[in-house]
Structure formats: C-alpha cells, structure tokens
Structure 1
C-alpha cells in the first residue's frame, strides 16, 4: 500500500483575535524561505485570510469547511491540493472548539479529526501567566481523538513573563512550547471593515510585510520543531478520489470572470469547476475601459466595489456593456459585490453612485454587517444555475443592504432558510439569464452549479 504521509498541521487559537492569522502568515513565509513547498489551507469561508496565505506561500490557498463540505469532499480537496508539498498548513478559525452549536459541530477541532492533523495552539498571553497551563489542560482533556502537538505563546510582555509562562506549561503539561512571540507595536497588515487589508490594496508593501513576519518567526519560533510536528502526522489513508467527478470536458464555451481590485472573491475550485465542465475562462476588469472580448457567460464574484464606487460609476462604457449583455440573455452569475455592481446604484458615505442598472434596486453601505454567517436556501424559481427544489448551503458577509427603488418587484430564486440574503427571506434575484444576490457558494458543495452554468453558456452561444 502506498504511504500517504502528507506532512500537515493545523494552527488554531482559543478565540478570534488571538493572532493566529499573523502566526500562520509568519510560519507560512518562514517555511517558504526555508526552501519548503508550502500548501496553505483556510478553515471556514474566509477569502481575505486565504488570499494572504496564498501570497505568503506563493501557492494557491483552498478553503475547507465542515458546514458545506462533506467529510469526503474535505479529504479529497486536501489530498489533491497537497500533492507535491513539503508541508501543509491549515489556519483554523475562531476558537479551536467553537462551532455552530454547543456540540462544536463544524469546529476547527472537527476539521483536525477529519484530516487526522496535529494541532498547534496559538495563545494570546496578555496579562496571563500560570493560567495558561490550566487553559492547556482543559484543551487537552476537552475532546477525544485530538492531538495538540505544541503551543505558541503570543503577545508576551518580556523575558520574565516568558520564563514564567514556559515553566508553568512545562511543570503542569506535556505540551511542547514551540515559541513565544513578543507584542507587536504595529500590525504589519492592518485591518478594516471586512478583516485584513487585502494584498490588492497594499501590493507594494505586501511582500515586505510578509518577510517582516517571517523574520519574527525565525527569531522567536522553533521552526524546525514545528516542521517536525507536522511531519509526525500519521498516514493520511487511501486516495479519496478526485475533487470533481468524471473526466474534464473539452472546452466548448468562453466564460468571463471579473478579477480586479473591486471584485476578486473567488474560490479557486469555483473557477476550476467551470474549466472541468468545459469552460475556457477569460479574465476581465470592471475598472479598465479596455473592450471585452466575446464571451458566452459572465461570473462576477464578491469583493469591495464600495471602495471603487467612483471609478466603477465613471466607467460607463463597461457598465452599459454589462447591462446590454444581461438584457441579451447572456448567463451571468453574481455574488455579493457582483450583485452590488448589477444594481441601479451604490450608496457610500451619503453619495450615490450609478452602477450597471440590471436590477431596479440600489445597495447602501452600512457601518455594521447586514448579513454574516452560513446560509441555507431552497431554489424556488427556474433559472440557469440551480435546479428548482434543490437546497443550497453557502455563506454571506456583507455590510451593504438592498434598498428598493421601484415598484417592480424582484424575482427571487432562493428562499432563505438560514441567513439574511437580500432581505425578507429571499436572495438570488433573476433577470432573464442573470442571477445575483448576496449568497456565496463553493462549487464543490454545489456540484450542479458549474455544469449548469456551462450548459447555459453553450445554449447562449448556439443561439447568438
């Protein structure tokens, strides 16, 4: 039998905001600088952390989520994406045992068991000494079949503080201390309304910031011991099979997708699923006035259109073109930021900016999230992308809300069982062959989406 060792670890925290993202980025870049091929993963539906991990590793990052991925899907994603790697690092989310309920379903701990991966805990030690040992003891005993392979102590105050922390852990537990990080006066990667500032906005300084984090890791963490912990992961087991079923289809349609500073939230597997189903992908921009090539379908992901509302509004040629394509029946699928672009207007800081005008509503940016978390929906209207009656699991994270501007009602495709969507229990609005809303999906969790998208694009191509 072939041994699938797959050196791997999960970097987890005790809660959100403990610094695990900074530690994950620091380790990922330090591993890369040590000559390792690092394949990063992010637990949960986060786009921004995943993008930073991609930049740090120089390798695409995939998301793993026990809510909308089956155990088989998680293992297939991990196995296939990790081939050829020297080490795989999975960044957890929230606290190690935090899930959707009191049983911790869909937690980072659950993912660790699915992957049979060692866990390294990053603990914020601000104003804490001996209590850290009690916390570790609790984690060690809380759930079975979980191996905590080490701990990284974050935000330590000085040598005396670090000495007491280390002695407390070594006296009361068997957990190795793999490093102790000092407090960082200035976060090298600042945050704003949806998380970390994106590498698109700080491209000139992104590599410098990541190298600064790697410098810190090399000075304060035991990189070799951490790599050894990852290497102690047991055999992964048999090949779980391919990510997508069947053989890749021959290329028969051209589907454009906007990827620029305004829209760039795409799971790599969503684009791969379209290619597997027979699409040639064409990268486009809403911020450039360069004319678009001929396409048979259009995918508008999420992003930050609110930060570029003035430039989007000024690019009237492309905005008119998008509306013309929609009215002509081009299959268009848009998520969150893409939906905002397709509306009549986008209001930001009391200024209203005209958008493409496909849907007779506007969106208004708010200071607090208007939809945040996992979603469950039923498909209630015939459309090009989902089968009527099917159930869709996804997620949403948006600060804007949908504001009615006309008496003409929107035709919703999705009835929300969980989540806010576009409001009043509905999302995924339909205009001709355009479906747009706040809901994000992962193609592996919704396997019908990509083949139906390609089929709709093929039908459009044949009729045009």
Structure 2
C-alpha cells in the first residue's frame, strides 16, 4: 500500500524549509490527516517545530549516522501508519556526501523544491531548472516559491518556470516577521520556548493554503506522490538489553537535545525511563543509571549553579558505581565554571567534577562522528561552540564518520572521558546504530 511522501528540499540553507514543512504539516493535520514528519541530518531544533505542527514526535534520518536499514525501517512504518509522510531535507538538495538527493534516489521519494524568491524575479526559473535537471532520475514533485513580495511578483516567478517542472504556487512574505521562526547559536529557537509557536506556523499555513499545493485534493496527493517502501530484511538486533533498569533523563530548556528515537530505543530495550527537570529544582529520581543529554546549559548557568541538592545526588549516584552518560551540554553542566569571554561572564555550574567550560562565539566542533567502543562502533555527531578543560582521563577519541561503514582512521575528534561509572563527551550518540554499545552506557 502506497502513502504520499514529500521530501522538502531547497538550493541552500535559509530558504525556509523548516517553516514550509511545518506549515504543510499543520495544514494537513488541520484537515484531519495523520502526518508523520522526519528531519534529514543530526538536528535537535528543527524537529521541535515539525513536531508542534504535526502532533507527532520527529525522528532524524541520516545515511551515515542512522544507516540505510534504520531509515528504511522508519519510513516503512511511517507509510503504513500515516496518511502522509513529510521529510525536511538538510542544507541544499545536493549538499554533502550523503545528501537529501541521495536519500530521495534510494527510495524514489518525490521532492518538493522550496526556493526563496526574495530579491529575485526571472532568475527563479533558472534556479528551478538547475535543481530539477542537475541529477537525472530524481522525482521532482514541483517547485514552491517562498517569501513572495506580491501577486505581481508571483506572476513573474511563475512565468519564468521551465514548462516541464511543475509550479506548486507561492507563500507570501510574512508582514510582521520575514523569518517567522527565530534563530540563535546552534540553530533555531526551540518551539517550546515560543509562546506563540502555533500562531507563527498557522500564519504561514494560511498563505500556503492558497497556493496550488494547498488547493490540491487528496486523490491528487495519492496519485502524484504515493510511495511504497517495504520493510528491510530483519537482522534480529539484540533486544531487552536494559530489562528492568530505571534510567533517569534530565529534560528541560538546559537539557533539550534528545532524539525521540533514543528514548524509544531505551524503552524498547526494556528500560523504565524517568524524566526530571534540574531547572525546576527536581531531585535526581531513584534510578539505576543517569543520562544528562545536551542542550543549552550555558543559557541557564545561573540556575544550575544553585542546584546544590542535585549536584550532591549526582555525586552520590557516581560514588555508588551507577552509570552516568553525560553528552555534550550534559557534560558541560557537570563542570565547576562557565566562562563566556564575549559576555564578560563567569558563572558556576553543578560542580560535580573539576573543569572549566569556555563558551565561544564561533563553532568549535561540527560533523558526523563515530566512537569505536569496546562493544563496537557507535555512530553519531558533534556540534558545539564551547571548549572544555578537565582532568578526567581520556579513554578514546571519536573519528570522522565518512559513511555508515567507514571512518577516517587518521582523524581524532572529540575526547571521551571516563572515571569510574561516569562517561562523558561532546559526542551525541545515535543509540540504534549499535544497541549493545548504547546499552553499555547505562549498565555497570
């Protein structure tokens, strides 16, 4: 049975992919359709807007980090249990060694091209032509013009289109805010930090509803963009590796970089997951293992520095030999002090371990990575603006991930620190890439 699928792509970052994908999910959801959205690449922030719009958790898809079988399994399940599947691409359509175009080609996914028409007229058609013709064999669903200034502007854009590339209409530039979803360092502001998130998406969806795409009836969606994706052959991965274990996970504005797929993995492996909020003053729940995920501890250092009870709980947990996995921002939160030179700021952190975090205004780590653990290769990525100085021993370094089964052997990226039952790194792990290694992060 086929299901309509659209991969939303663009010529580059900043064209409005997230806004358009969220608006389309909102529009379809409002019409009574069950919508599942995915995000290409290792991203924690765009998915918050896509989840808000669709009403469902959003998983990430990356050919290196996740692997082909993992992606196919998720897409197959999504097409079986939803009315429509949307996939937001990453960067430009052809960017990267594992581009959105590569993913589209593997499963013959229809591609919706979103092009920012700001400061552009007839050249719009040339950009659309190039995207549609650059790689033969791709299934181009059509082109949608974004940030259109007026109906006259829309007419010029449409007239410039090549005759064999479908025009799917336009979304007008928003009057109050040219970029309805604001950004800061690391990416978009998360949807749950915006009190008017729904209204921002709905405003764009209202314009999208007037486009040719928004006016299509459902039979046309199924006829044009139906895709059948079979489930991959089962490789019988290990299961119930965490049976009976209770895992506490910090989750709030300081610890928000959590893949829903990783939480689902823990539960599928038999773990009892307990969330708690350090910023709300929560104590550490009774647990067998602790996960401190990434997020924005640097924006909440003044609060974290006052969480003395939680710091004592974590020390006691560590001294008892219970596992702790501290990932990126979770690692930073454990340190003694945050130094942010450009803001002339020094703040205390939890102070569980000896170390100083320096926050920079430019990227200090970015890219797909792999950690060769004693239990096999665990894949993931790194993305951070800070650096960290600590005396905790380094037990390994991650390496640059080139493909699902290939790394740059000569590279040496993020440190993996360990002492006793504590492991920590800037490395963000995709748990399903190696179930045994991931489960070992939470077992003695």
Flag whether TM exceeds 0.5 (same fold).
yes
Distance change in 2, residues 1:198/1:425 (3 Å): closer
Structure 1 vs Structure 2 CA RMSD: 2.3
Matched ranges for 1:17-96 at <5 A: 17-96=14-93
> What stretches of structure 1 of length at least 5 have no aligned partner?
100-104, 380-385, 460-464
Alpha-carbon displacement from aligned partner over 1:330-353 (angstroms, at most 9, x marks no partner):
101111110111122222433322
Three-state SS of the structure 1 residue aligned to 2:438 is helix
Q: Kindly indicate whether residue 154 of structure 2 is the aligned counterpart of residue 162 of structure 1.
A: yes
Structure 2 CA distance for aligned equivalents of residues 243 and 351 of structure 1: 51
TM-score computed with the length of structure 1 as normaliser: 0.87
TM-score computed with the length of structure 2 as normaliser: 0.90
Three-state SS of the structure 2 residue aligned to 1:429 is strand
Distance change in 2, residues 1:231/1:36 (3 Å): farther
Counterpart of 2:440? 452
Alpha-carbon displacement from aligned partner over 1:303-329 (angstroms, at most 9, x marks no partner):
111111111111211122112212322
2:237–2:435 contact (8 Å) kept in structure 1: no
1:243–1:444 contact (8 Å) kept in structure 2: no
The count of aligned residue pairs is 430
Three-state SS of the structure 1 residue aligned to 2:65 is coil
Three-state SS of the structure 2 residue aligned to 1:264 is coil
Counterpart of 2:250? 258
Runs of 4+ with deviation above 6 angstroms: none
Three-state SS of the structure 2 residue aligned to 1:321 is helix
2:238–2:435 contact (8 Å) kept in structure 1: no
Q: CA deviation at 1:244?
A: 7.6
Structure 2 CA distance for aligned equivalents of residues 243 and 121 of structure 1: 35
Structure 1 CA distance for aligned equivalents of residues 26 and 223 of structure 2: 18
Three-state SS of the structure 1 residue aligned to 2:73 is helix
Structure 1 CA distance for aligned equivalents of residues 269 and 224 of structure 2: 38
Distance change in 2, residues 1:112/1:290 (3 Å): same
Counterpart of 2:349? 355
2:414–2:425 contact (8 Å) kept in structure 1: no
In the alignment, which of 176, 179, 190 is matched to residue 169 of structure 2? Answer: 179
Distance change in 2, residues 1:122/1:237 (3 Å): closer
Structure 2 CA distance for aligned equivalents of residues 252 and 266 of structure 1: 22
Three-state SS of the structure 1 residue aligned to 2:354 is strand
Distance change in 2, residues 1:231/1:399 (3 Å): farther
Three-state SS of the structure 2 residue aligned to 1:314 is coil
In the alignment, which of 270, 294, 316 is matched to residue 286 of structure 2? Answer: 294
Three-state SS of the structure 2 residue aligned to 1:80 is helix
> What stretches of structure 2 of length at least 5 have no aligned partner?
402-410
Structure 1 CA distance for aligned equivalents of residues 231 and 208 of structure 2: 34
Distance change in 2, residues 1:154/1:45 (3 Å): same
Q: Which segment drifts farther, 213-222 or 271-280?
A: 213-222
1:273–1:450 contact (8 Å) kept in structure 2: no
Matched ranges for 1:137-156 at <5 A: 137-156=129-148
Q: CA deviation at 1:180?
A: 1.1
Distance change in 2, residues 1:59/1:237 (3 Å): closer
Alpha-carbon displacement from aligned partner over 1:105-158 (angstroms, at most 9, x marks no partner):
210001112232100100112222222222222222221321111100112222
Structure 2 CA distance for aligned equivalents of residues 245 and 449 of structure 1: 12
Three-state SS of the structure 2 residue aligned to 1:60 is coil
Structure 2 CA distance for aligned equivalents of residues 154 and 43 of structure 1: 20
Counterpart of 2:209? 218
